Homo-oligomer: A and B are copies of this chain.
Amino acid sequence: MTDGVLQEYMGACQARVEQALQRWLPDVRLPPTRLHAAMRYAVLGEGKRIRPLLVYATGAALGTAQGRLDGPACALELIHAYSLVHDDLPAMDDDDLRRGRPTCHRAFDEATAILAGDALQTLAFQVLATDPTLDTRAEVRVRMLEQLARAAGSRGMAGGQALDLDAEGREITSVELENIHIHKTRALIRAGVRLATLLSDAGEDEVARSLDRYAKCIGLAFQVQDDILDVAGQTAVLGKTQGKDQRQDKATYPALLGLDAAREKAQLLCQEALTALDALDAAAEPLRRIARYIVSRNR
């Protein structure tokens, strides 16, 4: 895979999950129409779709048909989208711009944005509970639902956002910062790999453990790169407000380690992720390319 090939692969995954999300999101003509419009606005269109990408690439590495992976890909993107809608609210990060457009509460209103986030979370669980194309045993489905709940809840993503808010305006250590991101970002990225592994019946074997090691490394690398881009990126390319973390006096890796050391950390995590895949064959090539992309992307 050249980078062009990765771009093509990413484009195909993005198109695939976009179609699946289109099907799962409620029709805007159905009441409550404003709520449904807000849900679709928050999810469809732009978005890197990193979590779905990891679901498809992990499934590919394990020889699982792509069609069976749409459900977990959608579920994770719905959880991610709900968290963005709520994180952008005035009481939280108070952001006006997301994915190059007004945030959900700006485009609609705060009450609708709160409810849209709530309903998107519910829909994520509904997808995993009902999607017939998963084509798996009920026992596997239940384990996937469990993993999604653990990754999203107070000891996962939501907890990470709480730790992040708690850290605002005070000095924190790099250990604390890492703990925030282990929960806030990594938990859901790791769940992407985990759900695809469960669906592929890889269970708890050596390959599953390798994939989890990979996921832990790129999950953290993703956030380090996000922080780097907040310092060194451009608003127009990012689609969100550049420099916002700095102005809000948020702890970031570049702020704590310096920009060069943060870049080095991202590279080391990428290397570690690639090493974790050593025992996997050429089918894991998309996963390898994704690791390199995550620490080299400019948005």
A residues bordering B, Cβ < 8 Å? 26, 30-32, 34-36, 39, 82-83, 86, 89, 91-92, 109-112, 114-115, 117-119, 121-123, 125-126, 129-130, 137-139, 141-142, 145-146, 148-150, 152-155, 158-159, 161-163, 165-166
**Residue among A31, A146, A150 facing the most chain B CB atoms (10 A cut-off):** A31
Query: Does A153 contact B122, Cβ atoms closer than 8 Å?
Result: yes
Contact of A166 among B34, B92, B154 (CB under 8 A): B34
What are the residues of chain B within 8 A of A111 when measuring CB–CB? Answer: 89, 91-92, 165
Q: A150 with B126: in contact, given A30-B155, A32-B163, A91-B114 (CB under 8 Å)?
A: yes
Further contacts, 4 of them, CB under 8 A, given A119-B154, A125-B125, A130-B146: A32-B166, A36-B154, A89-B111, A138-B141
CA distance A111 to B166 in the complex (A): 10
24 contacts between A and B (CB under 8 A): A31-B159, A32-B159, A32-B163, A34-B166, A82-B118, A83-B118, A86-B118, A89-B111, A89-B114, A91-B110, A91-B111, A111-B165, A115-B162, A117-B118, A118-B158, A119-B153, A119-B154, A121-B121, A122-B154, A123-B149, A126-B150, A126-B153, A129-B142, A141-B142
A122 vs B110: C-alpha distance in the bound complex, in angstroms? 21
A110 to B165 Cα, complex, angstroms: 11
What 3 pairs between A and B have smallest CB-CB spacing? A91-B110, A126-B149, A138-B138
Cβ–Cβ < 8 Å partners of A31 in chain B: 159, 163
Within 8 Å by CB of A154, from B35, B109, B148, lies B35
A111 to chain B, nearest CB (A): 5
Q: Is the CB of A158 within 8 A of B86?
A: no
Among B35, B89, B153, B161, the residue within 8 A (CB) of A159 is B35
> How far does the alpha carbon of A123 sit from the alpha carbon of B159 in the complex, in Å?
12
A168, closest chain B residue (CB)? B111
Closest B residue, CB atoms, query A179: B31
In the bound complex, CA of A158 to CA of B82 (Å): 14
Known: A129-B142, A145-B129, A149-B129. A162 touches B122 (CB 8 A): no
| A118 and B119 contact, CB distance less than 8 A | no
How many Å from the CB of A220 to the closest CB on chain B? Answer: 18
Q: Least Cβ distance of A228 to chain B in Å? A: 25
> Are B123 and A153 in contact, with the CB atoms below 8 A?
yes
Q: Are B117 and A162 neighbours in the complex by a CB distance under 8 Å?
A: no
Most central of A110, A114, A148 by chain B CB within 10 Å: A114
Contacts of A150 in B (CB 8 A): 126
Closest chain-B Cβ to A86's Cβ sits at a distance in Å of 6
Query: CB distance A158 to B34 under 8 Å?
Result: no
Complex Cα distance A36/B159, Å? 9
